[in-house]
Structure 1
Amino acid sequence: MLKLEARPEASKLWGYASPVLALLLTVLVGVAIFMALGKDPVRGLQMFFWEPVKSAYALGELMVKATPLLVIALGLGVCYRSNVWNIGAEGQFVVGAVAAGGVALLAGKDTSRWIVLAIVLAGILGGMLWAGLVALLRDRFNANEILVSLMLVYVADMVLSYMVYGPWKDPAGYNFPQSKSFESVTQIPRLMSGSRVSVGLLIAFAGVGLMWVYLFRTRAGFAQQVGGLAPAAARYAGFSSRKALWVALLVSGGAAGLAGALEVAGPIGQLTPYIPSGYGFAAIIVAYVGRLHPVGMVFSAVLMSMFYIGGELAQSRLGLPKSITGVFQGLLLFSLLACDTLVAFRLRWSSRRA
């Protein structure tokens, strides 16, 4: 009988190499999928790994996709290191976008550019509010944060649909369910002309530095992780596990809301029913492929954005279904789980005794 046996000491080198091996396995399985679908595997891999980086414009679009993924993943990293399982970042992203869009709709022709700060702040507060509901239910009623945060995603989608089909529907939009286009004064500043890359990219990189300092160079960050992973030890040391819960969820919710604000006031420029794009769920993979480390998340966010762009190109140029993006994301996650398991455990044959 084949069984798993814990290794006496897991190799740190193989632990760091696990994401790379997972990527290689994803590529190999992807080749098999392309062949099974009757598509040229070289052409298919080119859509995912070459087209997104072959020009300056392509790199810019890659950064546009990577920015919200990285921002959300940074917040989730704080959550997961605190042993708080926020699975509803997608809903917090949507509510942040709705809150930011509501402020953007107040702008007129003579509105100051300072309204951008109000839009960003509204997005952060919207995401924190939605995550705060999860923290409240977990704190007061011991509700499971996985189920609560996940179910609130669907409520957030309904809130967005109500607004764009109802009060905020553009009367001059030919009955399409969307708000009017935001005034140009509300647009998140772009880094360069001819590119959609905004200052959100700089905010994301600043978040990388802040998360690293907070988690690994401050007493509060240490207390945050201990409060989540070992509540009894945290109480003995004078740390509050309740505080760790609230901080983790509010930080992750605020980050997701910030990503929603940057997206709706940046590349999209209006509220539509299609704002939920799966970023909140994909950021979970980004966080874990990046080993819950802010620097690792930078690389995994870029990789995941390549999957997004590659999936869109494969759909338009190779005639593959839209779900191919999700297939590659899922392959990467399951390959990483398999590699991590084999790093910590080994397979052993054992004979059954009668």
Structure 2
Amino acid sequence: MQLTDYLTLGASGLRVSPLALGTMTFGTDWGWGADEAEARSIFDLYVERGGNFVDTANFYTGGSSEALLGRFAAGRRDRLVLATKYSLNLHPGDPNGGGNHRKSLVRAVDESLKRLGTDYIDLLYLHIWDGTTPVEEVMRGFDDLVRAGKLLYAGISDTPAWQVARMQTLAALRGWTPLVALQVEYSLVQRTVERDLVPMAEALGLGVTAWSPLGMGVLAGKYDRASLAQGDAQSLTVRGTRQQVALTHDMLSERNLDIAEEVKAIAQALGRSPAQVALAWLLQRPGRGAIPIVGARTLAQFEDNLGALALRLGEAELRRLDEASAVPLGFPHDFIRLPVPRNNIFGGTRVRSGAQA
């Protein structure tokens, strides 16, 4: 696989690379990112190899990520698919400075357009569900901005599956712009999205993009058990160190480090880096799979990550990783799969969906 093995995003006709460039590390405002020169080197390498799918957000490094990306994309903007997000608050003390509502949406889009130095955004995600905005307001807001030419496509991130399904159905019924992408945390240390979010996305035409595919560095072998006792897990800020961010996102746990050990063992046997093995597992998920969003602080890290595209894990390696990282699906999924309910449903006969044939 290469960055030029483009695929269509969800049910849309938009062609994107199978691995996206994540730019949350662009800018040093939070204390742990890449400076402008290093960020440009990472961006240039991605584009030179044919990559076209770049992910950012208005909130990343206080807006610096978008501003840097706008400078880097100058002169080649139209060949890129720029994805950004709104919802997080860049205006502390202002209750309307963030959230999913129309005022926040319109303000965020106008500010992002200025920082990115463009007159349209290819893909805009709702960044995280706020639990207060009516879904009709969100979907009509997306549709209005698409009709105004400021957006081409709409997506959603970090939102319950039932709410996303409700929004997608509403858009279909009213002829509004549909969602084409779902961005979720997805990795060997975060597979609970396989319960409802990933199947929902496949059924309703949303391409899945995966943030933190390396578990905030855990799967790259960056941390050991001594890291569990370091830092403040209750911090409310993304500033400080990457280890601090990993702690606040509950990434540093005994279970996750056990999974990382299995990744490391397979990587050593294959002569690859742990990061490449973890990313290759995600690239080989069943069905349409997921698009990893890969960010790095250094060019060397990013170049190593791109090596995952050339790694094809065998059935034995995939099985070991699946077993080490398995999560219970919970009710009703586990119940439906039990022998007695299956027999009661099908009366002892074999039936499979024609849609899956």
- Whether the TM-score (by the shorter chain) exceeds 0.5 is no
Band the TM-score falls in, shorter-chain normalisation: under 0.3
TM-score, normalised via structure 1 length:
0.24
Q: Which has the higher contact order (CA 8 A, sep 6+)?
A: 1
Q: Give 1 or 2: higher helix fraction.
A: 1
